[in-house]
Amino acid sequence: MSNQTWRNTINNNPIQQSIRQFLAKFPLKTHRSLYGVRELDDPRLYIWGPGWKSGQETSFDQECVKWQTFLKFSKSDFETKRSNEPLMSPSGKLPFLILTTGDVLVNDSIEKHVTDMYSDNLGRINEQQEADSQSFIALADTKLRNALLYNLWCEPANESITYKKYVGHYAKPLDKLLFQKYKKLAVKELLTRKPVLNKEEIYQEANEALIAISNALGDSKYFFGSSLPTFVDAVVFSYIHVILNIPLNEVQVQSNLVKYSEKIYNEYILSGF
């Protein structure tokens, strides 16, 4: 039987004809939208919030702080929105940035956008410094992130505060379900880097990473002696800021890193730029 013959047979079927006649009594009608989409005056960064301490402009989440800070470094006009709803994001995670064009950016695409559009407001480093920068970012994204994840999701004493920050705004029983989901994701990520989760080892490695980062910064205002901050500064600041504000007492933040964090917060977060 040819395709056309098969279609004719289906279309002429009494049951199919009855269904079509029934549906014809209820034609589809398109109604005017009740709520229009408001165009953004400035790009908007959707984040977790509020911060760890009352009145803080920064998110409590390290990833959100990183992109907040990098956007502040660029001196671009943008606003933040505490959505606390990761499913709004195309990646399923916060933060994400919506441009005035309607484009939605996450992760590396935010860095590319900022670097392409506002490079004059960011520090410049050479190829060797860029390679070193990537090493420090990798160090922070493994050793310091391990310590943060373990502290927030694996320490029983911190369970209530982690619950409040990430799922406290949901109704029961969704709050408990999401808490367990996020906890499993955190543990799964930890296990990709450390097959055995040894508390003392995780915090010791974070301490060693902080020493290395502290030595690299030295007395400079920004990494590599740059007169303006670069992406590595946004990454390192985000970790130091969150570690100091939780606070994560199991790791020791060197005095130069404390001053570095305070200066960036005061100069870029509080003052606008």
The domains located in the chain, with CATH, are 44-120 (3.40.30.10), 125-270 (1.20.1050.10)
79: Cβ contacts below 8 Å, ≥ 6 apart: 42, 43, 44, 45
First to last CA, the chain: 73
- What's the confidence (pLDDT) of residue 40? 86
- What's the confidence (pLDDT) of residue 5? 52
pTM: 0.85
Average pLDDT along the chain, 273 residues, taken 10 residues at a time: 50 62 66 59 96 93 98 96 94 96 96 96 97 98 99 97 97 96 98 97 99 98 97 99 95 98 96 63
Among the listed residues 121, 119, 77, the one whose alpha carbon sits nearest the alpha carbon of residue 97? 77
Report CA dihedral (52, 58, 63, 68) to the nearest 10 degrees: 180
- What's the confidence (pLDDT) of residue 246? 95
- What's the confidence (pLDDT) of residue 64? 98
From CA 206, how far away is CA 147, in angstroms rounded?
6
- What's the confidence (pLDDT) of residue 30? 62
Among the listed residues 20, 69, 88, 54, the one whose alpha carbon sits nearest the alpha carbon of residue 233? 69
Report CA dihedral (99, 104, 106, 112) to the nearest 10 degrees: -50
Please give, one letter per residue, the 3-state secondary structure of the chain. CCHHHHHHHHHCCHHHHHHHHHHHCCCCCCCCCCCCCCCCCCCEEEECCCCCCCCCCCCCCHHHHHHHHHHHHHCCCCEEEECCCHHHCCCCCCCEEECCCCCEECCHHHHHHHHHHHHHHCCCCCHHHHHHHHHHHHHHHHHHHHHHHHHHHCCHHHHHHHHHHHHCCCCCCHHHHHHHHHHHHHHHHHHHHCCCCCHHHHHHHHHHHHHHHHHHHCCCCCHHHCCCCCHHHHHHHHHHHHHHHCCCCCCCCCHHHHHHHHHHHHHHHHCCC
Among the listed residues 75, 70, 208, 205, the one whose alpha carbon sits nearest the alpha carbon of residue 150? 205
